[in-house]
Amino acid sequence: MLRKFFSYYKPHKRLFIIDFTSAVVVAILELAFPVAVQWFIDQLLPSGDWNQILTVGALLLLVYILSTVLQFIVSYLGHKLGINIETDMREQLFTHVQRQSFRFFDNTKTGHVMSRVTNDLFDIGELAHHGPEDFFIAIMTFFGAFAIMFQINPELAVIAVIMVPFLCWLVAYCNIKMNQAWKNMYSKIADVNARVEDSVSGARVVQSFTNEEFEINRFKVDNGGFRLAKLKAYKVMAGTHSSIYMMTRLVTLVILVVGAWFSFNRNLSYGEFVSFILFVNVLIKPVDKISALLELYPKGMAGFKRFLDLINQEPEIKNRPDAVEVESLHGNIIFDDVHFKYDEHKEVLQGIDLAIRPGETVAFVGPSGAGKTTICSLIPRFYDVDKGAIMIDGIDIRDMTTHSLRSQIGIVQQDVFLFTGTIRENIAYGKLDATDSEIYEAARKAHLQDFIASLPDGYETQIGERGLKLSGGQKQRLAIARMFLKNPPILILDEATSALDTETEKIIQQALNELAENRTTLIIAHRLATIRDADRVIVVTEDGIAEDGTYEELVEKGGIFANLHHIQFQQIGH
């Protein structure tokens, strides 16, 4: 896993080398400073040579400037490295998710993918930046400082180092406490987020039930919980900072007193004494860094593992190596003994045989859950059949590239999904490089032009999140316009279940009829009035295809369809 992690540094090798080298130089300068002070006090001060003192002062100033510039490089380029790696991973993840098959989305929670793309990658980016650099620098400064201290005065060096494990223990203990507190806080903020998301997206339901007070009270509970958790985290943080402060001061104090004793009795010069005090700080700093790493490492690595788990999931539907690019299919669709199941429990389709001629309009009817949508989902290869085959124009769809196959099929879903953006952008989704006149033509064919003309911003009107500002009928017509632009030879219409008013329905039906012209069209029908003009009606039940024929034939046959026909037309008073 570590090797895989480091492979993400490869494209940013140059950045890493500059950042790392700068960090090493900063660490060396940090080690050199106490030595310079010692020399300054012991050699330069007694000489009383002001020229030399000023020259050394100027030199030290240059060193400070260099160190400051390098610090900036380390901080900026280090973060740049982390962000670059994070961005690469995020792009890889998004691309990977885009290529996943329907089954992946059936089984994956949106919130989980969201948290992979945001939180996890943030932690990984932090680790990528701080991990190797801080670890190396901490080890280097710690042992470097100890080696120099040991050279100046071995006994005093050992006394200083003996106290470090206590400090490490304290830091580790505080870290555990802090982690618990932060974890608790994150879970509380997740509650608050979930509550806000629910109430905002469900605002219409809340208001229609006049449950605003109820929602506010529920929110108050979550918000209060978050406040307490955050307060606790800050209390732990304050405790941690002050105890670490106390402990480091204690180490300095011990060295101050023992060092004073050494300077009286054991020939420790004033310069060495001062440099020792300075070195204590250099020695302690890495402890802090390593402790921060101890927190960062498991978090980042756990995130990276979740990232790899996702990245390593192979898309279920893949192109065969010799898959062909198909163009302008005629739409001769054949199901040959098709078996399919979503999961092990139940086979949804058992041996479906079906032949649809090019240009035919076929309506699928039958009880809810019988498998009409499933049959239609297999044609664009959203799922692969378990047994049997589906052929279009004599070619097995698994021998076509999914991209070329799907570009030949248009689907108007029951629940139209629109993207946040303008009407123009949403229509153009059917053909990304569509010209203005193509877009206007599509809108006209979908009987949308009058509606668009009545809007102050026309085609540039924002339709709100998922098209919230549009009515059901307008959304449907927008989806139809999209399909006119895509212009596929095969069309799948999942008919809306919710009844539209008669006028709108008539307009939409007219648009759909025009759309279906000269295409092979499959309609998943719920209302029989809309399929009177279909060439064929296929009745799907849990046992497979039960009836197949023209509308009139099936009514005359007196079977399931005839029954459906009588029920529906009795209900609406025919």
Ligand X SMILES: Nc1ncnc2c1ncn2[C@@H]1O[C@H](COP(=O)(O)OP(=O)(O)OP(=O)(O)O)[C@@H](O)[C@H]1O
Binding site for ligand X (CB under 6 A): 106, 342, 348, 368-374, 524
Nearest to 315 by CA among 403, 414, 392: 403
Q: How far is the CB of 175 from ligand X (least distance, A)?
A: 44
The nearer residue to ligand X, 330 or 527, going by C-beta atoms, is 527
The nearer residue to ligand X, 443 or 491, going by C-beta atoms, is 491
| Sheet with 409-412, edge to edge strand ranges | 409-412, 490-494, 520-524, 361-365, 536-541, 544-549
The nearer residue to ligand X, 429 or 561, going by C-beta atoms, is 561
**Structure tokens of 433?**
């490089």
The nearer residue to ligand X, 294 or 560, going by C-beta atoms, is 560
Q: How far is the CB of 472 from ligand X (least distance, A)?
A: 17
Q: How far is the CB of 413 from ligand X (least distance, A)?
A: 11
Distance of CA 555 to the CA centre of its chain: 51
Q: How far is the CB of 495 from ligand X (least distance, A)?
A: 10
The nearer residue to ligand X, 197 or 343, going by C-beta atoms, is 343
Q: How far is the CB of 557 from ligand X (least distance, A)?
A: 21
The nearer residue to ligand X, 370 or 480, going by C-beta atoms, is 370
Output the CA–CA distances (angstroms, integers) from residue 552 to 119, 253, 534, 535, in the order listed.
59, 100, 11, 10
Nearest to 562 by CA among 552, 572, 571: 552
**Structure tokens of 219?**
């929110």
- In sequence order, what DSSP letters do the residues of 417-471 get, joined into one string? ---SSBHHHHHHTTSTT--HHHHHHHHHHTT-HHHHHTSTTGGG-B--GGGTTS-
The nearer residue to ligand X, 70 or 540, going by C-beta atoms, is 540
The nearer residue to ligand X, 106 or 197, going by C-beta atoms, is 106
Q: How far apart are CA 514 and CA 488, in angstroms?
A: 13
Q: How far is the CB of 370 from ligand X (least distance, A)?
A: 4
Q: How far is the CB of 342 from ligand X (least distance, A)?
A: 3
**Structure tokens of 83?**
């962000």
The nearer residue to ligand X, 104 or 551, going by C-beta atoms, is 104
Q: How far apart are CA 52 and CA 40, in angstroms?
A: 10
Q: How far is the CB of 373 from ligand X (least distance, A)?
A: 3
Distance of CA 116 to the CA centre of its chain: 5
Q: How far apart are CA 83 and CA 74, in angstroms?
A: 14
Q: State residue 155 phi and psi, 5-degree precision.
A: -65, -45
**Burial degree of 130 (CB within 10 A; 0-12, 13-18, 19+):** buried
The nearer residue to ligand X, 136 or 342, going by C-beta atoms, is 342
- In sequence order, what DSSP letters do the residues of 132-192 get, joined into one string? HHHHHHHHHHHHHHHHHHHHH-HHHHHHHHHTHHHHHHHHHHHHHHHHHHHHHHHHHHHHH
Q: How far is the CB of 416 from ligand X (least distance, A)?
A: 15
Cβ neighbour number for residue 324 with a 10 Å cutoff:
13
Q: How far is the CB of 545 from ligand X (least distance, A)?
A: 12
First to last CA, the chain: 69
